[in-house]
Amino acid sequence: MISQNRGRTKFYQYHSNTTNLLFVLVRYLRRNFPTPRILCFLLVMTSAPVGMLACQRDSFLRQLKAKVLSCVPAASAAVSSGKSSTAAPAHADPNTPSSSQGTSLYEITFSDSVLFPEGGGQPWDLGTIAGHSVHSVVRKGDTCVVSLPAPLTVGDDVEMTVDWDRRVDHMTHHSAQHVLTAVVESELKLPTECWSLTHPYCFIQVPAASIPAADVTRVEQLCNRLIADGVPVVCETYPSRSDLPAARSRGIPADVTGPLRVISIPNLDSCTCCGTHVSNLAQLHAIKLLHQEAKGNTCRLYFVTGPRLLSAFGATYDREKQLVKALGIHAQGILGVVERKGTQLAESEKWSKKLLAEVAKLTAPQIAANAAACAVSPFFFHREDADMDFLGVVAAELAGKCPAKLCVVAAGSLKEPDSGMLMIVGESPAAVTAFADRFMPLVGGKGGPSKLGFRGKCDMRKWKAALKTIATATDTVGAAAAPLPASSTS
Ligand SMILES: [Zn+2]
């Protein structure tokens, strides 16, 4: 677990005692002078602004008692935001709720918050408030707004608790991003254009087609040296934009007036940032740089750190153990064996396809003869191990030998939903289309016209039941659908 060496903000502290005092005053005024404007003004004044929230003053705080200042149904929320309060970012933590899932939400403000609102590339915290699971936490102007699936009573003191594992994951990756960005910029002269705290791995995006492997190794070593040296992470808070010192910045949103924060890694980097951070780089344990992904003229350099690095290594090690067991080899020989097996598999598939094509040529005349001799229509044929090429050969033979006969040829396992394929040929284009319209829904299939008639994909688990339906239908030509030929595996 992460050390409890807390990181606290310098410059000034916002005391919750102030909040309590003002709230008592609000209560007194509400009882004796119920003037809404005064009340609202004082309520706003009692709310800790984003930039000085409890979670930003102390990233290691897990619980907080706060007062409910306002509570409105989410749909009629008076305060507007530039961002959606419910949209989860791409590749988000799978635990992040992506929608209200049919329940009503309430937007609630508190005197303070131990839950971080989304910002600076860091997703919002999850947790509980008064026993209710938090849906989302967002910044609206300088106000932190929490969405809950239940209303709370204005004036109540409630307990907030942070989902600690999620917070640690977020703050370790956010602090690691600051270090990585700073080292990549100073060593490789590549500024970070954007970054993403995603799953399973995070990335920074830089203006280069790729980063040479030797540079990646050097950057990783430098970052890990800073982590091993236990370099502190310092958070300083300033009242407004005009007070800010020179610092790297990705831009401060226009609706943020202050207080504003600068996160510094001494002798390396200073950056405006609202996120929660570790107080010492040693709390990251290590950083591992992973693959790169080209994106136009830029590339994404993926990384992992903190507890997620440890669990990712554990999962990789378990997978390797299972592979070693399944292949019956030593771990060191995995790559060679897998490459050899892959080559053998590709050769086998090529050989199998060639043999299947020969079988199709040999059996197609017999299948066409069966179709011509069959007294009922349509004629059905199915072969489990066939493929679309095989069906094409058979369909061509049917079209040539018995063009007036409506035929359905299919392939794929009768036990799997996704392997089915079929072709319908014969009689006339209109008859083929009419039968496809009737038959495809029965086999849960989709398709369209082809050179020989109709081709599509279907769920072969429904094949037998579909044949029964067709066989018992009063408009089927003949007594019943043809019994499946001997070559059928059904
Ligand atoms: Zn940041």
449 alpha carbon to ligand 1 midpoint, in Å? 55
262 alpha carbon to ligand 1 midpoint, in Å? 9
313 alpha carbon to ligand 1 midpoint, in Å? 26
Of 226, 246, 125, give the one whose Cα is nearest residue 175.
Answer: 226
Task: Judge whether residue 482 has pLDDT over 90.
Answer: no
Structural domain tally of the chain? 2
354 alpha carbon to ligand 1 midpoint, in Å? 58
The mean pLDDT of 121-143, rounded to a whole number, is 95
Quote the pLDDT of residue 21: 44
The answer on 381 and 287 residing in a single domain is no
Quote the pLDDT of residue 488: 44
78 alpha carbon to ligand 1 midpoint, in Å? 29
The mean pLDDT of 190-207, rounded to a whole number, is 96
315 alpha carbon to ligand 1 midpoint, in Å? 28
Task: Judge whether residue 83 has pLDDT over 80.
Answer: no
274 alpha carbon to ligand 1 midpoint, in Å? 7
Q: What is the pLDDT of residues 201-226, one digit of tens each?
A: 999 999 999 999 999 999 999 999 99
Task: State the CATH number of the domain containing residue 457.
Answer: 3.10.310.40
Task: Judge whether residue 272 has pLDDT over 60.
Answer: yes
Task: Judge whether residue 124 has pLDDT over 90.
Answer: yes
Query: Looking at 167-323, which runs of residues are DSSP E strands?
Result: 194-196, 202-206, 234-238, 260-265, 269-272, 287-295, 298-305
Quote the pLDDT of residue 29: 52
Q: Is 287 helix (H, G, I), strand (E, B) or coil?
A: strand
Task: Judge whether residue 373 has pLDDT over 80.
Answer: yes
264 alpha carbon to ligand 1 midpoint, in Å? 10
DSSP calls for 110-128: ES--SSPPSBTTBPPP-EE
Q: Is 354 helix (H, G, I), strand (E, B) or coil?
A: helix
Confidence of residue 476 (pLDDT cuts 50, 70, 90): low
The answer on 290 and 191 residing in a single domain is yes
Q: What six digits make up the tokens of 220?
A: 């990783």
Q: Is residue 146 part of a domain?
A: no
Sign of CA dihedral 148, 151, 152, 158: negative
The mean pLDDT of 414-440, rounded to a whole number, is 92
Q: What is the pLDDT of residues 326-339, one digit of tens each?
A: 888 888 888 888 88
65 alpha carbon to ligand 1 midpoint, in Å? 27
The 10 Å CB-count burial string (b at 16+, else e) for 345-369 is: eeeeeeeeeeebeebbeebbeebbe
Q: Is residue 82 part of a domain?
A: no
Quote the pLDDT of residue 89: 44
Q: What is the pLDDT of residues 226-250, one digit of tens each?
A: 999 999 999 999 988 888 888 778 7
The answer on 391 and 319 residing in a single domain is no
178 alpha carbon to ligand 1 midpoint, in Å? 6
74 alpha carbon to ligand 1 midpoint, in Å? 28
Q: Is residue 15 part of a domain?
A: no
| More confident call, 240 vs 421 | 421
The answer on 369 and 306 residing in a single domain is no
420 alpha carbon to ligand 1 midpoint, in Å? 51
261 alpha carbon to ligand 1 midpoint, in Å? 10
273 alpha carbon to ligand 1 midpoint, in Å? 4
138 alpha carbon to ligand 1 midpoint, in Å? 16
Confidence of residue 485 (pLDDT cuts 50, 70, 90): very low
297 alpha carbon to ligand 1 midpoint, in Å? 24
- CA 358 distance to own-chain centroid: 45
272 alpha carbon to ligand 1 midpoint, in Å? 7
Confidence of residue 255 (pLDDT cuts 50, 70, 90): confident
Task: Judge whether residue 106 has pLDDT over 50.
Answer: yes
The answer on 277 and 173 residing in a single domain is yes
Q: Which domain holds residue 381?
A: 361-472
The answer on 384 and 259 residing in a single domain is no
The mean pLDDT of 65-71, rounded to a whole number, is 96
The mean pLDDT of 147-158, rounded to a whole number, is 96
Of 266, 265, 268, 263, give the one whose Cα is nearest residue 245.
Answer: 263
The answer on 459 and 318 residing in a single domain is no
90 alpha carbon to ligand 1 midpoint, in Å? 19
| More confident call, 114 vs 36 | 114
Angle at 47 between CA 2 and CA 159, to 5 degrees: 50
The answer on 379 and 321 residing in a single domain is no
120 alpha carbon to ligand 1 midpoint, in Å? 5
57 alpha carbon to ligand 1 midpoint, in Å? 15
Quote the pLDDT of residue 377: 87
310 alpha carbon to ligand 1 midpoint, in Å? 23
Q: What six digits make up the tokens of 139?
A: 């910044």
Q: Is residue 66 part of a domain?
A: no
Report the alpha-carbon distance of residue 339 to residue 186 in Å, rounded.
40
The answer on 390 and 251 residing in a single domain is no
